[in-house]
Amino acid sequence: MPSWKIAYYSGVGGRPQIMLDQAPGEFEITLVDPTLSEAEKIELCRDADALITSDVTVNVLRECPNVKLIQTLSAGYDRMDLEAILEMGIPVANNGGANAISVSEQTLGLMIGIGRNLMAQWDTTTKERNWRGNLYQTDLTEITDKTVGIVGLGRIGRQVAKRLTGFDTRTIFYDIVDIPEDVQREVKAEPVGFDELLQTSDFVSIHVPLTRRTRGMMSDREFDLMKPTAFFINLCRGPVVDEAALYRALTEGKIAGAGLDVLEVEPTPADNPLFDLDNVIITPHMAGQSQETALRAAQFACENIMRVLNGGEAESLVTPE
């Protein structure tokens, strides 16, 4: 039986024991602390046949001649120099399907939370010990029968659309990729132009990778197109949004509120002005985290690596723009 050496960057959010439990007997897994120096990482990764990580550098890879696949445990791969890595002939596969359910559930959670102003209700009741207080003056919004616009109908966007069917929404989407009609019918989502989506949606939920094309795609122009009663939801990557423009939109009444799991800078500074707004709910980039996600991600990573090391083609390969 062949033995394959796998280096796993087991940092924040990593679940090394789950990975070790799911790894086949042929895998010899080395845990790599992402906070180590590059020289220390090279020593641990030098003989690796595959890497499980989303932030390996080209300098490390140059010293790892046996690597046949870089496998991420998440959908994102923006912390790597993808173009340079692919030029080295090393394929990169992401793991977007593993966290799709978790992210989609938190997407709906943020929609409900910001539409129903749950944080204000919780704060008034629990922290202030003030039963209802002035909450009678608060406008609360339902999702049912609203128009929800999904930007990016990939694996996560489709799970969001699927869950929205229980709320009887009109679900529309925009994507630069042609989405098969059978998928559109299955999740009951109809394609529209980007501007039309922004202009007509009561909730705009964005689910795109961070690339040169998507960086800053939501800025003043886009928020100006949205309805003043609409809510903006972002659970993909912070730099997809011009945060200063979002702040202006929230404080100038261009949109009603926002639910955010990601920010431009993470960890974000303690003086981020978004923290001071009552019409924003912020969570610390945890949407993709769950016990189930960790298990699915580990299983897919091991299966995909084994597929490649046995001479097959990897699934979920990432391609440049």
Sheet holding 50-52, edge to edge: 27-32, 4-9, 50-52, 70-71, 92-93
Q: Element (H or E) spanning 150, and its range?
A: strand 147-151
Asked about 266 being catalytic, the answer comes back as yes
285 flagged as catalytic = yes
What are 260's strand-pairing partners? 234, 282
Tokens standing for residue 110? 């943020």
- 222, 237, 243, 296: the catalytic one is 237
The single residue listed with the structure tokens 């180590």 is 36
3-state secondary structure of 218: strand
Contact 22, 34 (CB under 8 A): no
Residue 301 in tokens: 């990573």
For the question of residue 155 being annotated catalytic, the response is no
Active-site hit among 15, 155, 285, 296: 285
Residue recorded with tokens 């690597």:
67
Identified catalytic residue from 40, 142, 252, 266: 266
Spatial neighbors of 289 by CB under 8 A, at least 6 apart, are 13, 99, 102
Q: Are the CB atoms for 58 and 34 separated by under 8 Å? A: no
Enumerate the active-site residues.
237, 266, 285
